[in-house]
Amino acid sequence: NSVGVEIKLAVTDPTLKRLFETCQLTTHQRKTVAHEVAVSSGGRERVLKVLASPVISKDDLLLGTVYVFDDITREKEIDRMKSDFVSLVSHELRTPLTAIQLGVSLVLDGKAGPINEKQRSSLEKVDRQVKRLTDLINDLLDLSRIESGRIQMKREPISLVDIAVSRLEEMKPQADSKGVKLDLEVEGEIPMTVGDEARIGQVITNLLSNALKFTPQGGQVKVRLSRQGDMILTEVIDTGPGIPEEERERIFDKFYQLSDFKTRSQGGSGLGLSIAKGIVEAHGGRIWVESEVGVGSNFKFLLPIISPEEIDEQDTGRG
Ligand code: ADP
């Protein structure tokens, strides 16, 4: 029992000092917090993962903090190489695919001479699979760009209400043909914020297309917007099969699809939610899902409210 023994560490090294300051716990934080920090030592850039865990006394006082340092420079490098590789390969695959797609539609349109029903039906299958492959490659390219930070998110004034309205409109025909009700619910006043309109739209479209994909005929899909303090909450609620608790985090991983045969047979690449997560996090937000199996799912994401007047200030501040 070491109560009464006080050890003080005088940190003079500026790098270390900055590290401790960045990762310091505040008195009301009562759980382990992880940070990734870039430091340069001996002329080399290193990335450290720092875990800061509070040491709490029996009477709930914060006695101190235990720091664990993990050098993840190599992992980061490998991650980047993987991203670069995927991005290069997907880029290279796109060109021949475009040629295949053009060729197939040329023959299908009868421009290379008449085709019979059997040939048409085969070619239509090829056409569908080529489209699927193109979507997959575009998703891969998107994801590797987002992961490597090579996509610069625009900083423009955006209205989540406008984005939701236009994305819902786009999905309406699909919902109608499936016999699923599609609604928008706006609670109170939703302020403008700052972000990338097309990318945030992509998040809503991804969530909506999943919701429609998994909701059976006669079901309902709803987008709800509300203000939560200094954040805007967007919810995409469906009456589909729901997601078991143990899978709720993993569905945001790359290529992850529920093992259930029913969801696998719906197609898709398993990349949509990772892309959505990448975009939301690049905006300083958070995305997660709440769900009850057999009742439905509620995909939620929070975005910070940034006043459009701050755009210039922050942009120049970033250098
Ligand atoms: P994709 O839809 O292309 O398979 P996603 O990353 O968008 O990839 O989704 C990953 C998986 O999460 C899906 O394959 C599905 O199993 C599950 N999922 C996503 N959205 C829903 C939903 N609204 N209801 C039920 N399951 C879902």
CB 221 within 8 A of CB 249: no
Q: Which of 139, 210, 239 to mutate to test the pocket of ligand 1 (most atoms within 8 A of CB)?
A: 210
Q: Which of 212, 273, 289, 297 to mutate to test the pocket of ligand 1 (most atoms within 8 A of CB)?
A: 273
Q: Regarding predicted confidence, which is higher, 238 or 3?
A: 238
- pLDDT value at residue 9: 58
Q: What is the pLDDT of residues 262-303, one digit of tens each?
A: 555 566 778 899 999 999 999 999 999 999 999 999 999 999
Q: What is the pLDDT of residues 207-223, one digit of tens each?
A: 999 999 999 999 999 99
3-state secondary structure of 301: strand
CB atoms within 10 A of CB 53: 16
Rounded distance, CA 135 to CA 268, Å? 9
Rounded CA Rg of the chain: 25
Which letter does DSSP use for residue 221 in this model?
E
**Residue 44 above 80 pLDDT?**
yes
Mean pLDDT of 296-311: 93
Compute the residue count for the chain: 319
3-state secondary structure of 224: strand
Q: Is the torsion defined by CA of 267, 270, 274, 277 positive or negative?
A: positive
Confidence bin at 315 (pLDDT 50/70/90): low
DSSP conformation letters of 24-79:
PPPTT--S-EEEEEEEEETTEEEEEEEEEEEEE-TTS-EEEEEEEEEE-HHHHHHH
Mean pLDDT of 9-20: 72
- pLDDT value at residue 101: 94
- pLDDT value at residue 318: 43
Tell the residue nearest (CA) to atom 11 of ligand 1. 257
Closest by Cα among 88, 28, 33 to 62 = 28
With both helix axes pointing from N to C terminus, report the angle between 197-214 and 160-178 in degrees, rounded to the nearest 10: 30
Among 55-69, 112-126, 150-164, the least confident range: 55-69
Contacts of 181 (CB under 8 A, 6+ apart): 175, 219, 220, 221
**Residue 2 above 50 pLDDT?**
no
How many angstroms separate the alpha carbon of residue 173 from the centre of ligand 1? 21
CB 147 within 8 A of CB 278: yes
Cα 29 versus chain centre, distance: 26
Interstrand relation of 44-56 and 33-41 (parallel, antiparallel or unpaired): antiparallel
- pLDDT value at residue 8: 54
- Whether 258 is in the pocket of ligand 1, judged by its Cβ within 6 Å, is yes
Rounded distance, CA 117 to CA 119, Å? 5
Confidence bin at 319 (pLDDT 50/70/90): very low
Rounded distance, CA 18 to CA 51, Å? 15
- pLDDT value at residue 204: 97
